Amino acid sequence: MSPDYIIAVIVTVVGASTPLLFAGLGELVTEKSGVLNLGVEGMMLVGAIAAFATVDMTGNHWLAVVAAALCAAAVSMIFAVLTLSLSANQVATGLALTIFGTGLSSLVGQGFTGRAIPTFGTLFPEALAGDRFLRVIFGYSPLVYLSFAMVILVAWFLRSTRGGLILRAVGENDLSAHSIGYSVIGVRYAAVAFGGAMAGIGGAAFPLVLTPLWAEGLTGGRGWIAVALVVFAGWRPYWLLAGAYFFGLLGTLELYAKASGGSFTSILPSEGWAAVPYLATVVALAIISASKRSGGNAPACLGKPFIPAA
């Protein structure tokens, strides 16, 4: 196996893992506050169409990232109002949000089907980004480096800041946090908005970095993998980084199975390779749910409505 082939695989894995990392980080912060939002797939699709439309109309990629974050965060507020203010069931509302986001992206995207946009350029000069070997470090979109920065930022926020302590307190014991004067609903609204914005950026990575052609259902179910990643990582940001790249590698196997043919398809048909990431998600969740240690990392109030004592 040649060095060029190995580098090509690494570059592909990094690109495929970036949307999962953004969406997973957003869901991790949301769940740390005690809210379970299963609408990640829908928010990613809203972010994807917002980014695609923005680049198509303006040609500005950074504006597209901002638009994706804002639009997905706005959609997440539908979920927040229903679950936090009206105490609707979080699981059912999250599923409804996915259906809504899927339908909305399909409706808005009708006018963009089959159209292409320019992808995000690399952050570093061509001398570094285009080098045969150095591109494995310098040859990525700015969103890749932003995703690494967000992992560090989220980990620092949760561990070392007063705001992170409050967020974790709200997720672990909402009544106690309320009793000492913290706004449980306010903190959870902020967490849901952040989760929506990150899911939107994750969705934006598809048209801006991976597939510059718009197609219905562009994210391909990656939002569900992002939700599973949070559990897989035990609600820890750095483990989430490792998990995102693991599932990114599994997703990349499908592409190389179709491209290389015999060597891969002799082991498993290309359709089987396409199913591997989702089968791995089910297996990972089954193993983790059976593990008392991993289950103990879940926020105590996860998925439970906040009802202050009289």
> CATH number for the domain including 188?
1.10.3470
pLDDT digits (tens, 9 = 90+) for 251-268: 777 666 665 555 555 566
Do the domain assignments include residue 13? yes
Structural domains counted in the chain: 1
For the segment 182-190, the average pLDDT, to the nearest whole number, is 96
Q: Angle at the Cα of 309 (from 158 to 193), degrees rounded to 5?
A: 35
Please give the C-alpha separations between residue 188 and each of 81, 85, 114, in angstroms, as whole numbers: 11, 11, 39
Q: What is the pLDDT of residue 133?
A: 82
Give the whole-angstrom CA distance, residue 29 versus residue 20: 14
pLDDT digits (tens, 9 = 90+) for 43-101: 999 999 999 999 999 999 999 999 999 999 999 999 999 999 999 999 999 999 999 99
Q: Supply the range of the domain harboring residue 127.
A: 3-295
For the segment 272-294, the average pLDDT, to the nearest whole number, is 65
Do the domain assignments include residue 34? yes
pLDDT digits (tens, 9 = 90+) for 132-169: 788 888 989 999 999 999 999 999 999 999 999 999 99
For the segment 196-214, the average pLDDT, to the nearest whole number, is 94
Do the domain assignments include residue 189? yes
Residue 100 in contact with residue 74, Cβ under 8 Å?
Answer: no
Which is more confidently placed, 283 or 295?
Answer: 283
Q: How does the average pLDDT of the chain come out, rounded?
A: 88
Do the domain assignments include residue 306? no
Q: What is the pLDDT of residue 65?
A: 97
Element (H, E) at 63: helix 61-80
| Strand segments (E) across the chain | none
Residue 137 in contact with residue 144, Cβ under 8 Å?
Answer: no
Give the whole-angstrom CA distance, residue 100 versus residue 75: 9
| Token duo for residue 59 | 């040609």
Do the domain assignments include residue 217? yes
The single residue listed with the structure tokens 């103990």 is: 296
Do the domain assignments include residue 220? yes
* Confidence bin at 292 (pLDDT 50/70/90): very low
Do the domain assignments include residue 241? yes
End-to-end CA distance of the chain: 67
